[in-house]
Amino acid sequence: MESMGTTGMRNCVSCGRSISWDANVCPYCGHDYRMAMMGPVQQAPQMSDGMKILLYIISFLFSIVGIIIGVYYMTKPEHEYKEVGKICLVLALVGIVIGVLCSFAIYV
């Protein structure tokens, strides 16, 4: 086996065939070496469905806490967090309206 300094060849990590040392893409299998050099792509953090439901229930039952949670998540840059914050704010307002209507119905 010859050293890579003398031939300028290497084996593809995907298919094992001999390719040029400076090849960015394997001509046989299409493995892209440029993606490996860029590093892993970071995905936006995601919130679990259980956490969303818990925040929604808390927002409805404890309206002040729901408003705080809603405002906090509305300031986050991720779209998913903004949606959760918006729903928390709506549920907090619905909780307040229902509380006022129930109080009015009981005492009038």
Is pLDDT above 60 for 91?
yes
pTM of the model: 0.58
Q: What is the pLDDT of residue 39?
A: 57
With a pLDDT cut of 90, the percent of the chain lying above it is 52
Maximum CA extent, the chain: 95
